[in-house]
Each structure stands twice: as structure tokens, then as C-alpha cells.
Amino acid sequence: MFDLKKTKINRGITTKFFLYLFKTLRVIFFFAFLIAVFYFIYGFMADNFPLELAEPILFSAFFSFSCFLLFFNLAFFFDDALRRSKVINGDIENNDINLADFLSINAATRVKKAINFAKKKKIEVNSSILLYFLLNNKNRKIDFILNRLLISKKLLLSRAKESMLYTKDINEGTGLSYDLTSIILEAAKASIRRKGFYIKTADILSALSKIEPNFKELLRRSKLKKEDIDNINYWQEHLLRRVSENKKWWHKDNLSKFGSVARDWACGFTPTLDKYSTDLTELVQRLGFVEIIGHENERAQVERILIRDNDNNVLLVGDDGVGRFSIVRAIAERSYLNQSLPELNNKRFVEIDMNSILTSSSTIDEVEIILDTCLREASCAGNVILVLSNFDNYLSDGNIAAKADISSLIAPYLKFSEFKFIAVTSYNGLHKYIERKPQILSFFEKIEVKESSKDETILILEREIPFLECKYNIFITYPAILKIIELCDKYIHDNPFPKKAITLLNDVCVYANSKKEKIVLDKHVEEIISEKTEIPVGKITADERDTLLNLEDLIHKRIINQVEAVNEVAASLRRARSGIKTKNGPMGSFLFLGPTGVGKTETAKALAEVYFGSETKMIRFDMSEFQTVEDVKRFIGDGNNPGLLTTDVQENPFSLILFDEIEKAHPNILNLFLQVLDEGIITDSMGRKIDFSNTIIISTSNAGYQIILNAIKENKPMDSIKQDILDYVFKQGLFRPEFINRFDATVIFKALTKENLLQIAELRFKKLQQNLLRKQINLNVPHKVKMQIVELSYNPEFGAREMRRVIQDKVENALAKAFLANQIKEGDTISINENFEITVLKRDYEE
Amino acid sequence: MILILEYFYWQFIEIPKRLSRVFLNLMWFGYKFFSIKYCFETLFSPWRKIVFVYKKGFDLGNRLEILFNNAFSRFLGFLMRVFMILFFLIFELIVILIWIGLVSIWIIIPIAAVLGIFISYSLFQNV
């Protein structure tokens, strides 16, 4: 039900006149009082007026002050008591509940204007009318949402105005039409989603984003979702609520921030520990209380473990940047504010600084004495919870001379129930050092800290944004935040959320600031990611669009024949870059089968040059070097050494990876490829996730080449021999079917014909001519010579490889000799005959 | 009519209630800030856990010295906590006085304003 007339808030709207009247009178009488007092002081203290005037002036001061008090009181009453809405409660979909009761005074005023307008025009209130009256006055909250989304208020307003008399609001899901009640019901739901108490103007805007046709269209064009309005609404209200709550100094939460003075009088002094540690509780108090987002389960778990009588030590395990310290900070904050478990309230969280102990001591004995004193003090004080970061750094198995080992020193303390200890470590440290000391590990309860979710990361970024905007004097748009999350998730794998997103946000702010731009847009994020990863993310640029559309032609400039292979590769790339790729895994993965010298490697090189900009963007592995089990370690690394493949791909995530002669690799390596081809991710020995999703993987093999050669001899069509080759490799056990199936395509490279070789000869001679041109020598190669080269080098078993040898032997050698013997000089035009003899046709100058 | 009733409720019940909530919070703050519960719980505990341990064997002089030191540590703790409780009481007293003062002023405001207008108006007429 929606009936604005029956609400209290309606009285607030109708009595608005009195409110302004009382407020004005309050000001007038206050100034009148001040003037009268000033006049009285001026006139009678300095003897400027006769005494008869004293009484009326004094009475008028008294009168003004009394009136001021009265109107102050009434204005306060009208503002406070009559403009208050009901808090949303109960089943809002119940027809007996009047939704208008929950409208805030601003929202109710806008809705009332819309109703009056519709009544005047004798039509029903529709979403466009409501949107128009929502936007046609100054409203900071609405401006905040629209500005963050980069939506023009003016445009939206004009469109709503144009269509307000004709708009029909139809629910696309049910086919029913929306009336005012259902729009306000949607707004109430939006308010509940953001944990609000009232229906505010921004909630109505959120509802209209799902209903009003113009608004929906604008959102669609800006590639925004309806949920984005909800998210910004939540962000804004949450921010405002925090600011307003912080201002209410008399609230218990705010008063708690002063702490307590005598709480630790019954606890011991810790002079040595104070010297070699950081008091996190004091730090929290000094730096202010930050809202901790996410990891609530982990935080609660740590709190529960710390209050136990036994086994009350915690081992926080997680990747760097995942938020392990945020958990410790959150507990320290809650403990200080008396919001934690009673046994944990008012404890001191102290992070021991091992580096300072190690650097201030000259001998191991000295280190042990200081550390022992610190631990004893912490244990005896009665209110200290010790924190040690990088715990694994201080455990060693004796193999590493430079590493300190505190396990024997700390172990006796870990048994005491009074000694509470939080050790922070990474997965790598846990597996490498801590798990090798089971007696130490047994004292701890292990808690794994997982990466923050994307939604949590958005909230964390929103928490950081006000500081960054203030620091760099910029405005960060919501699409930029979404882009940060999207691109971090896709392209950055060396750090977890939220660290990578926070780092990127900072980078983008610095970047925008350095370019003197005031608004941070999603394109800035794309530019930074492209710069960092060398991946051309974002909208396909004109150059890239041309490259993709003409990929086949560009590759064919270097590759003769092999149309099927080139087409397959080009199509795959177009799918990946236009964003319609459905599977995970690399951008494209191909298995090139065919005899040697037919252009398999050359195709890969051409692709690297055409698409990735340079042949150097190709990571090439000769798989004949990885034939034993031990080579697997070389490939993905072991505990101490980084892997060849994983390191290269991590450093160049946008590249072409060529595995030459894949059939020669050890089967275990082929098993590794299954995951890479399927998921596009591999975990190396260091626990890092290496992302292959921006690579093109090409494996080449000449397995089954005999079948191709026989087919040439028997004049069989090439298309029919693919299955024969696959049957052959399965039969021989070279590749398993699941391996072959994981490639996007298995491409058979045909053996080259004499015509193909002639074309290749032309390409080779063209290259040679270009090289000679640098020495200002023009080389003419008659067709007969090219044919002679083809005749000499034609051998289906070696493909075009033989041609390179022939050209080297016959042409390049002859040229080199002639050049060294001064027979040809710079500026000459020369020719070569069928016997591969060089003749000078023209010389620019005579000696 | 309803508006007038609402005004009286707001002026004499609702706002004094809200003000009282603020002052109750301040009293709670005093209780927490001066750690009163802990002061009573540990009233005779040694100051900062400073305790001396008897040496092995019987040495009357040493025993008496340690007994005196431990007793002094407890006395120091007691003294500090008593002072803290005293400060708490003073703080609470000040809070209560301000509370009573502010609520009284608030209740008097409309009466004082109306009376002030009448009195000043009648005085003005007599001039």
C-alpha cells in the first residue's frame, strides 16, 4: 500500500512553511538581541544615552532573547519531530503496510511533487515522472551516484521530460505494469539491500534503474548493470553513516576509543620487549580505527583459539598481500574497543621485531638472551599477545648457515597457557620450514587465510578511494573500479586480492595525476595494465583490428601454402581478442604435424612477429632437451631454482610459446601440458600460479611424416590423411588421445611442391636482395636461377630446409667470395647465372 | 491539538530521554575509562606484578625485607587504585551535575521564553 497523505512525514512536508518561518524568526530575534545588548553597552556603559532610554533597550533585549528561545525551540521541534520517518520493518510486501511511512523527508517531497504533477495532467504517476522530479533539484546523493557512473544528469533529465507523458512501465519478467506502489516497493528493497533504515532518494533512483526506460537504455549503453547503482548507493550511505556516527562522540563506540587507564596496572612491565617490538594496539590507537573488510570467519577463529587454555597459539598461513595482518589488526582493534571476546578485551598485541634483535646483537648467544627475556616478559606480563611475522624465516633445519633458528628457544613457552602467540607465515614457508619441525607445528592451530573475494575487494577499494582522491586531487569513477577488479583478476597473478587491486588503484591514481587528468577512467586502468603486462588490453585499437582482420594475408607474406594452418590460427586469435572465447586456457593452442622444413616453426615465428610485434616475443623450447624425469624440474622449477617455462611465461605473459619436437619430451612433461591447455594455469614449485591465458601455444612434431610423404608419392589428397597420422601417433604411443584433444586444432602441414619451393625461393632471394641493398648492391636473380635452385633442393623429406643449404652453398658463398676479392663493390648492380657465377652489370663509378 | 500534545511529549519526555542516554553513556565511559571493575578486582594486587621471591633456606633478614617489599608493592597498587576510584567518583559527580543542569535548562526553555515575552512586553508597556 502507498498513501502519502496518511503519513506523519506528509505533515512534515505541509508544515515546511512554518519550519522556515521559525528558522527565519530565530535568526532575526537573535540578531535583534545582539543589537540591543550592543546598544545597551554602547549607550550606558560609555554614557552616550540618557538614563531614560536604558529601560526600553533592556526590555527589548530581554524580549528578543525570549522570542529567540521560543522560535529556536519551535524550529527544533518542527525539524526533529515532524520530519522523521518510520524505520523499515516488518514484511514490506504486506498490503497493510503503508510504504509511504518509510520515505525520508526528501524522498517524500519528490514523490509528492510527482503525484501532484500527474494529477494535474490527469495521468498515473510513471517512472519517468518520478525520475524527472528526482533529478530536477539539487541532490548531492543522486549527483554522487550519477557522477561516479559517468552518466549525464542533464541528458537523463531531458529524456525523462520528453517521455514523461507517454511512458508505460512494463515489468519484462511478469509482463505486468509498474504502478507507484510497486516502484516504491522496489526502492524499499534497495534500501534493505544496503541495510538502510529509510527509503531515500538514492533508493528510488536504484528502483528506477530497473524500471525507467531511458535510464535502462543509458545504463545499457554505458555497459553498466543495475547492481552497480545499488553498490554505489551502499558505498555512499555507508560512508555517510560512518562519518555521522564518528561525529556522535557520546556513542559508546566512540567513547571506547579513549581506552582505559588502569587496566594494565595488574600486569607486568615489559621493558626489553618494548625495546624490540612494535605495540600494535598503540599503533591502532595512534593511526585511527580502520574498518576491516572480509576474513570474518578467520578473525573469529583466531579469537576463539587465543582464549583457549591449551593450544592457544595461532599460525596464520596465507600468501603475501592476502590480508593476514588485517586480521591481527582487526583483533587488536576489537580488543582495544572492548568489542572482542571478554577474555581478549584490553590485551596488548605486540609484534616482536626479530630483525632489530638480530642486528643489535653480535653473537648468537646474545640473540638468545634478548629473545628469551622478551618471551619471558610477554609470558609473565599477563596481557601480552605476541605476533611474529615471517615466522618461517626464523626456523631452519641446520642446512642454511645464515638462518636463525628460534625453535628450541620458543618451544618451551608455546606450552604455557599464559603465553599467547600469533605466527604469520606463507604457504611456501609452511611447507619448506615449519612442516619440517613437527614438534613446533603441533603447538599451533593452523588457520589458512584465503584471497578476498571480488565483492570484498570492491569494498576495500571504496574504503581507500576518499584518501587517494584527497591526496591526488582526482575523481575516481566506478567503471574504473570495476575495470581494476576485472583486469587484476584476468592479468595479474603474482599477488592475491586485495593487494593487487590496491596496488593497481594506487598506480592508476599516480598515472592519472602525472598526466594532469582529474578523472580516473577505465581507459587509464587499461593503459596501466597494458604497460605492466605488455598485453594490449581494452578496446581493440584500429591497428590491431586491421592486423586481426588481415592476419592470414600478413602471415602468408612469410609462409607459402599451409592455408589450413594459417586460417585456423587466425580464426582462433580473432575469437580470443573479440571477447567471444568461451573456454579457459591459452588464447590458442595448436599441434602442427608435418615433415621437416614445411614451415611449422616459420608459421609460429611469423605469428609472433605479426601479432606480438616481434619474433623475440616467442618463447621457444626444443623439447628434445627435456627427455628425462629430472627435466620436469628444469621445466617448472624445484624448491631452489625457478623453472625455465614458468619464469619465461611469468615475465612475458603475452607471448607465443613454441614447443619444438614435442614428441621427444618426457611423458610427465606432456602430462603437465594437460592442465596448461585445459585451465591456462600452472602452479610452479614456488607455489606461484602462472597464467597462460594470454599466450598462444604451438607444439610441432614430425611424427607420422612418412604417411604424408607416401601420400605425395601415391597422389592421395592431403585432407584424407589426417586421421591416418593420428592413428599412427596413437598406435606408436607418441601422444595420448586426451593430449591431442586438448589442442584447439591439430593442423597437418602439407609437404611442399616444386611450385611452393619456387615461391619460397623468391622469398629467400628477396631477403638476400634486401640485405645486399644495405651495402648498396643490386642483385638480379633470373627466373632460370630460381628454377635451378628448386631443382637442386627439391627433396620432400627435407622440405624447404634443403633450399637454405643450396642457396648458402651456391649463391651466398659465391657472393661472399666475390665481395672479398673486390669483384663487386658498393653501388654495383650484379647478376647471377645458372652456373652461379656473378657478373657485374653496372658500376656507378670507375676506379 | 495532536500537534500540541506531540510537542509536549517531545519537549518534556523525548528530548530529556535522549539527553539522559548521552549522560548514561558518559557515566559508562567513566566506569570503563577508570577501569573500576578491575580496580576493585585487583585492589590489593601488587603494583605491576612486582613481587620478590624468597631465597632458599631460612634468612630472617631477607624474609623480612622481601615481606616488606611485597607488602609495599601491594600498598602502592592499592593506593593507585583508590586514587583511580576517587577520580572516577569525582568524574561521575560532575557528569551527574551537568546532566541535571542541562535537562533542567531544556525543560525550562519554553516556559522561560513565554514568560520572558509576557514580562518584557508588560514591562515595555509600563515604560
Residues near A427 by Cβ (< 8 Å), separated by ≥ 6? Answer: A317, A318, A319, A687
- Cβ–Cβ gap B124/A56 under 8 Å: yes
Where in chain A are the domains?
4-80, 99-247, 263-448, 454-533, 542-748, 754-842
- Tell me which long-range contacts A502-506 makes (C-beta under 8 A, separation of at least 24): A502/A460, A502/A461, A502/A464, A504/A528, A504/A529, A505/A461, A505/A464, A505/A465, A505/A468, A505/A476, A505/A481, A506/A468
* The predicted structure's pLDDT at residue A290: 85
- Cβ–Cβ gap B48/A269 under 8 Å: yes
Whole-complex ipTM: 0.94
* The predicted structure's pLDDT at residue A542: 61
> By CA distance, what is A15's nearest residue in B?
B3
DSSP, res A170:
B
Residue whose C-alpha is closest to residue A423's, from A302, A335, A304, A336:
A302
Buried b (16+ CB within 10 A) or exposed e, A317-335: bbbebbbbbbbbbbbbbbb
DSSP, res A1:
-
CA distance A89 to A106: 20
CA distance B55 to B63: 8
Query: pLDDT tens digits for A317-367?
Result: 998 999 999 999 999 999 999 999 999 999 999 999 999 999 998 888 899
Query: pLDDT tens digits for A804-820?
Result: 888 888 888 888 888 88
**What CATH number labels A542-748?**
3.40.50.300
**What CATH number labels A754-842?**
1.10.8.60
- Cβ–Cβ gap B29/A255 under 8 Å: yes
Residue ranges in chain A whose pLDDT is less than 50: 401, 847
A267 CA to chain B: closest CA distance, Å?
5
Helix axes B15-33, B60-126, angle to 10 degrees: 160
Which residues of chain B are within 8 Å of residue A70 when distances are taken between CB atoms? 110, 113-114, 117
Query: pLDDT tens digits for A526-543?
Result: 999 988 877 777 655 567
Confidence of residue B69 (pLDDT cuts 50, 70, 90): very high
Helices first, then strands: H and E counts in chain B: 4, 0
Which residues of chain A are within 8 Å of residue B115 when distances are taken between CB atoms? 66
> By CA distance, what is B50's nearest residue in A?
A268
Q: Check if the beta carbon of residue A598 is closer than 8 Å to that of residue A750.
A: yes
- Please provide the size of chain A in residues: 847
Query: pLDDT tens digits for A663-689?
Result: 889 888 888 888 899 888 888 877 777
Class of domain A263-448 as given by CATH: alpha beta
- Per the listing, cell 527544533 goes with A76
Whether cis (ω within 30° of 0) applies to the bond prior to A498 is: yes
Q: Is A262 helix (H, G, I), strand (E, B) or coil?
A: coil
- Cβ–Cβ gap A266/B42 under 8 Å: yes
Q: Which helix (H) or strand (E) holds A784?
A: helix A783-793
Helix axes A54-80, A16-40, angle to 10 degrees: 150
**Cell numbers given for A183:** 516502484
Q: Check if the beta carbon of residue A838 is closer than 8 Å to that of residue A824.
A: yes
B82 CA to chain A: closest CA distance, Å?
11
Confidence of residue B103 (pLDDT cuts 50, 70, 90): very high
Out of A60, A70, A252, name the one closest to residue B25 (CB): A252
Chain A to chain B Cβ contacts (< 8 Å): 114
Three-class SS of A22-90: HHHHHHHHHHHHHHHHHHHHHHHHCCCCCHHHHHHHHHHHHHHHHHHHHHHHHHHHHHHCCCCCCCCCC
CA distance A688 to A428: 10
Q: Check if the beta carbon of residue A698 is closer than 8 Å to that of residue A657.
A: yes
- Cβ–Cβ gap A63/B124 under 8 Å: yes
CA distance A208 to A172: 14
Pure H helices in A534-617: 542-549, 551-556, 563-577, 600-612
Out of B45, B80, B117, name the one closest to residue A63 (CB): B117
- Per the listing, cell 632458599 goes with B56
CA distance A674 to A656: 18
Region for A823 from its dihedrals, namely left if φ exceeds 0, alpha if ψ lies in -120 to 50, beta otherwise: alpha
- Cβ–Cβ gap B38/A63 under 8 Å: no
- Cβ–Cβ gap B6/A382 under 8 Å: no
Q: Same fold for the domain at A454-533 and the one at A542-748?
A: no
Q: Is A195 helix (H, G, I), strand (E, B) or coil?
A: coil
Q: What are phi and psi of A842, to 5 degrees?
A: -150, 135
Q: What are phi and psi of A298, to 5 degrees?
A: -60, -40
Q: How many of the other CB atoms lie within 10 Å of CB of A518? A: 10
Topology given in CATH for the domain delimited by A454-533: Helicase, Ruva Protein; domain 3 (1.10.8)
In a mutational test of the B interface, the residue from A18, A68, A265, A346 whose CB has the highest number of chain B CBs within 10 Å is A265
- Per the listing, cell 603437465 goes with A672
Distance of CA A736 to the CA centre of its chain: 37
Residue type at position A791: E
Out of B6, B77, B114, name the one closest to residue A70 (CB): B114
Residues near A20 by Cβ (< 8 Å), separated by ≥ 6? Answer: none
DSSP, res A103:
B
* The predicted structure's pLDDT at residue A404: 75
> By CA distance, what is B116's nearest residue in A?
A66
Q: Check if the beta carbon of residue A568 is closer than 8 Å to that of residue A677.
A: no
* The predicted structure's pLDDT at residue A497: 93
Helices first, then strands: H and E counts in chain A: 39, 18
Residues near A628 by Cβ (< 8 Å), separated by ≥ 6? Answer: A666
pTM attached to this predicted model: 0.81
Topology given in CATH for the domain delimited by A99-247: Double Clp-N motif (1.10.1780)
B67 CA to chain A: closest CA distance, Å?
19
Residue whose C-alpha is closest to residue B67's, from B77, B55, B81:
B55
Pure H helices in A415-453: 427-429, 438-441
Helix axes A140-149, A226-247, angle to 10 degrees: 130
Which residues of chain B are within 8 Å of residue A59 when distances are taken between CB atoms? 120, 123-124, 127
The chain-wide mean pLDDT, for chain A, equals 88
Out of A252, A262, A338, name the one closest to residue B38 (CB): A262
Pure H helices in A257-397: 271-275, 280-287, 296-306, 324-336, 354-360, 364-381
Residues near A608 by Cβ (< 8 Å), separated by ≥ 6? Answer: A614, A615, A616, A617, A618, A655, A656
Q: How many of the other CB atoms lie within 10 Å of CB of A271? A: 10
Buried b (16+ CB within 10 A) or exposed e, A391-405: bbbbbbeeeeeeebb
Residues B95-111, mean pLDDT to the nearest whole number:
97
Residue type at position A380: C
